[in-house]
Structure 1
Amino acid sequence: MMKFGVTSNLAGVVDGWASVAQDQVPYATAVALTRTAQEAKRAVEAALPSVIDRPTPYTMRGFRLWPATKTKLVAEVDFRDSFGKGSHARDYLAPQVFGGTRKLKAFERSLQRVGLLPAGMAAVPGAAAKIDAYGNMAQGQVVQLLSYLRAFGEQGYRSNITQKRKDALSAGVKGKRGMSYFVGRPGGGKKPLGIWLREEFGQLGSSVKPVVLFVKTPTYRKRLDVPGISARVIKERFTPNMHMAMRQAMSTARRPVGPSKIV
């Protein structure tokens, strides 16, 4: 788990504000901490495209801010939980921050559950994969593969293709060439293990193309220096943010009213 908080010894900053009511100090501190954490979060997000090729909007929203309060003077930035049925941001961002291997994606877990993806291996796009604008395999093709390979779980079993439909696709329909998917090592075992597309050309024979290749689960080195980025932002921005918050607190603080004098 990645988490960093913004905390500080406030003595040096508060010395110059001795005249401010003490109940304004916690409020100003919480504001300064939260602003600094927001700036650190933005700095981390700005660094993402330099370590991840064409990060998706989902990835760019992979960090979440928990603001400081008057009673909890710590602002935190951590990985965001998943959106709906998607993967947790921690699963694929943590290896970039800490190094190590990433967790399997939902597609890979489905293939592994039905015994198609061997343990210790990951699935990567092959030459026949359809790629979206972010360099990932198109979701429509992922769904097509899971359906064809009958890899949907119990909740999605109705999405799995029937044998009758498989036979029709293999024979070719409405003038289209026949096609089928299979998992294996074509070419007499000389080609890499993966999911392959076989296209039928009638009397001209057939061809096979790799859609997904199974490779050893990659190990990542640390590339996104979240601790270093946040430390730099804290050093540069906390004191200015604290002074600004204190000035705002002073401008909005209620001034004590002295006793009335009757003349």
Structure 2
Amino acid sequence: MPTFKVKLDISQYVAGRRNFEEKQLPFVTAKTLTDTAKDAQAGVQRNVRQAFTLRNEWTVRGVRFKPADKKGNNGRIEADVHTDTANRKTGAPDYLGRQESGGTKVPYGGHQYLAVPTKYLRRMASGVIPAELRPKALLGASAGRFPVRQGNGKSGFRSQRIVNGFVFFVQRMRGGDLAIMGRPVAERYAYPYYLLIHSANVKRSKLEAEKTVNQIARERFGPNWEANWRYVYANGIRI
């Protein structure tokens, strides 16, 4: 079987491809870093849902990413995953940082105390604490002048609002700490439902955000890199 040999000068094609790839490199790098940051963000958000009892999506939305810019910043093309759960209205700082590394929690916005739920509160609300049992609501119900219908049918007033069959009030405990105390309306003995303290140590949670970001970055960068190069060649992007 005869063999036909053809000699071609492909140097211009090699140079063209090299030139094309060099031009596309910043775009592919930035898009790959951004795609990988999105993957890592999703992983940390999944951890948040598993580690905490959430009343809404605020904390999940607080895990964010910054996309990479192909133009770079001082010669670096980079993306990042970060947390931002700070409340601009109340001045409350980002609390996910302390959950990752531990730290000390203190009152903010002019408040003097932190309200720490006790086992007695958790017996009433084992999951998300309902609005009527949160500290602000109980403090509002603990002192004032509240209308009530008496047993003889007449109207009257009492100094505490009845909440879920309980009355609540602030009292200093034997050890000196203040607490929001509660008791059933018909009973004498009260128990602490929130401790009011000036600061609290926050232990590291099971969030493991840094570990998750590192793991996902190592797993996803390569596949994202290959996928973006395929996309560039398939679409003939020019920049």
Q: What is the TM-score when the length of structure 1 is the normalising length?
A: 0.62
Q: Which amino acid letter does the alignment assign opposite residue 203 of structure 2?
A: Y
| Residue deviations 1:22-70 (CA, integer Å, cap 9, x gap) | 33221111110001011111122222344x2434422222211111121
Q: Confirm whether residue 208 of structure 1 aligns to residue 190 of structure 2.
A: yes
CA–CA separation in structure 2 for the residues paired with 1:76 and 1:44: 13
| Residue deviations 1:153-179 (CA, integer Å, cap 9, x gap) | xxxxxxxx7x43389234889xx9894
CA–CA separation in structure 2 for the residues paired with 1:146 and 1:75: 45
Please state how far the C-alpha of 1:222 moved relative to its aligned partner: 6.0
Within the candidate set 113, 118, 132, 1:140 is matched to 132
Contact 2:36–2:216 at 8 Å: present in 1 too? yes
Of all paired residues, the percent bearing the same amino acid is 22
CA–CA separation in structure 2 for the residues paired with 1:223 and 1:33: 26
Q: Confirm whether residue 238 of structure 1 aligns to residue 230 of structure 2.
A: no
Backbone CA RMSD of aligned residues: 3.7
Q: Which amino acid letter does the alignment assign opposite residue 138 of structure 1?
A: P
CA–CA separation in structure 2 for the residues paired with 1:177 and 1:46: 38
Change (3 A) 1:54 1:172: closer
Q: Confirm whether residue 24 of structure 1 aligns to residue 24 of structure 2.
A: yes
Within the candidate set 251, 256, 261, 2:234 is matched to 251
Which protein is bigger by CA-based radius of gyration?
2
CA–CA separation in structure 2 for the residues paired with 1:213 and 1:29: 52
Q: Which amino acid letter does the alignment assign opposite residue 147 of structure 1?
A: G
Contact 1:129–1:210 at 8 Å: present in 2 too? no
Aligned length: 206
Q: Confirm whether residue 66 of structure 1 aligns to residue 66 of structure 2.
A: yes
Match of 1:78 in 2: 82
Match of 1:195 in 2: 180
CA–CA separation in structure 2 for the residues paired with 1:139 and 1:195: 16
Contact 1:184–1:193 at 8 Å: present in 2 too? yes
- Report the 3-state secondary structure (helix = DSSP H, G, I; strand = E; otherwise coil) of the residue aligned with 1:68: coil
- Report the 3-state secondary structure (helix = DSSP H, G, I; strand = E; otherwise coil) of the residue aligned with 2:80: strand
CA–CA separation in structure 1 for the residues paired with 2:205 and 2:161: 48
Match of 1:100 in 2: 103
- Report the 3-state secondary structure (helix = DSSP H, G, I; strand = E; otherwise coil) of the residue aligned with 1:20: helix
Within the candidate set 209, 217, 220, 1:226 is matched to 209
Q: Confirm whether residue 168 of structure 1 aligns to residue 157 of structure 2.
A: yes
Q: What is the TM-score when the length of structure 2 is the normalising length?
A: 0.67
Match of 2:8 in 1: none
CA–CA separation in structure 2 for the residues paired with 1:84 and 1:131: 31
Please state how far the C-alpha of 1:103 moved relative to its aligned partner: 4.3
Please state how far the C-alpha of 1:137 moved relative to its aligned partner: 2.9
CA–CA separation in structure 2 for the residues paired with 1:86 and 1:131: 28
Change (3 A) 1:100 1:83: closer
Bigger mean CA deviation after superposition, 235-244 or 216-225: 216-225
| Residue deviations 1:115-139 (CA, integer Å, cap 9, x gap) | xx3xxx6522451568667x34322
